[in-house]
Amino acid sequence: MIDERITVLIVDDHPLFRDGLQQALMLENDIRVLGAQQDGESALKAARELTPDVIVLDINLPDINGIQVMRQLKTERTPSAFVILTAYHDSEQVLHAMRAGAAAYCPKDVQPDELIEIIRDVADGKYVVNNERLDVRALDQWMQSSVESMSGPYIIDSEEHFVPLSPREMEILEMVTNGLSNKEIAAKLQISQQTVKNHMTSILKKLNVEDRTQAAVNALRRGWVRIKDTNAPSIRSE
């Protein structure tokens, strides 16, 4: 007999939330939980091996953040639909996630029954934004109107409205946030200091900030990176 249940992979680094969600989903007859991961690397491995229908993915993860995980899997043409969970919720972040390939974007205080319905919706090919159920055309219209109404970090020009950070830029931004200088970043990545400076110029432009400190604060506030060592040095000016 063919199992027609919706298969789900949970990715969240908070044990109570992760286990609680898994228990809630296991009570549903039409949903099968394939696994629960706590970081980006294990999420990538599990998603590739299991190819779930839906991946419930926290943005703020150790090592690789949720947006990076999703973008990598999208690049690999993984067929899963992504439900993004975050404690940080604003219109720019919603647009960022949906343009990166999410099927739904939810605050982490979402009620379990509501999240279960969202999982069913995205498995059925729908999109969920701000509690609205959208088809592809409606999603495109929402993104276009959102882009036109914003002048924030991802509005670059009339042709390319949304420009997320590249994986290398995210890597450098995390190092900056953890207090490394350009020289230290260059040595760690085995690239020139000028290349690091070029990346930093691009990062500042994309985030619409003036300096490294603002870029780091922006990244921390949105949950893109984490400070690995509580005794790490302060952010350096160059």
Give me the domains of the chain, ranges plus CATH numbers.
6-149 (3.40.50.2300), 167-221 (1.10.10.10)
Averaged pLDDT, 26-36:
95
Q: Is 215 exposed, middle or buried (0-12, 13-18, 19+ CB in 10 A)?
A: buried
Which residues lie closer than 8 Å to 162 by C-beta, 6 or more apart?
Answer: 95, 96, 99, 147, 154, 155, 156
Phi, psi (degrees; rounded to nearest 5) at 178: -90, 15
Question: What's the average model confidence in pLDDT over 98-105?
Answer: 89
Average pLDDT (41-68) is 91
Contact 188, 121 (CB under 8 A): no
The pLDDT of residue 234 is 52
Mean pLDDT is lowest, of 46-55, 124-133, 184-193, 215-224, for 215-224
Could you please report the per-residue DSSP string of 71-106?
HHHHHTT---EEEEEES---HHHHHHHHHHT-SEEE
Average pLDDT over residues 54-80: 89
| Rg over CA atoms, the chain | 19
Task: Please tell me the distance from the alpha carbon of residue 188 to that of residue 152, in angstroms, as a whole number.
Answer: 32
Adjacent-strand bridge partners of 11: 37, 57
Per residue in 115-127, pLDDT (tens digit) is: 999 999 999 999 9
Range scoring the smallest mean pLDDT among 130-139, 166-175, 206-215, 225-234: 225-234
On the question of pLDDT at 98 being above 50, the answer is: yes
Collect all residues with Cβ–Cβ distance below 8 Å to 58 and sequence separation of at least 6.
11, 12, 13, 14, 66, 84, 85, 86, 108
Task: Return d(Cα 210, Cα 22) in angstroms, integer.
Answer: 42
Under 8 Å between Cβ of 163 and 206:
yes
By three-state DSSP, how is residue 13 classified? Answer: coil
pLDDT band (50, 70, 90) for residue 144: confident
Residue 90 has pLDDT above 90, yes or no: no
Q: Between the CA of residue 34 and those of 4, 5, 11, 53, 102, what are the distances in Å?
A: 14, 11, 11, 10, 20
Beta carbons of 56 and 33 less than 8 angstroms apart = no
Q: How confident is the model at residue 163 (pLDDT cuts 50, 70, 90)?
A: low
Task: Quote the DSSP letter at residue 224.
Answer: S
Q: Rounded to an integer, what distance in angstroms lies between the CA atom of residue 32 and that of residue 8?
A: 6
Q: What's the pTM value of the predicted model, to 2 decimals?
A: 0.67
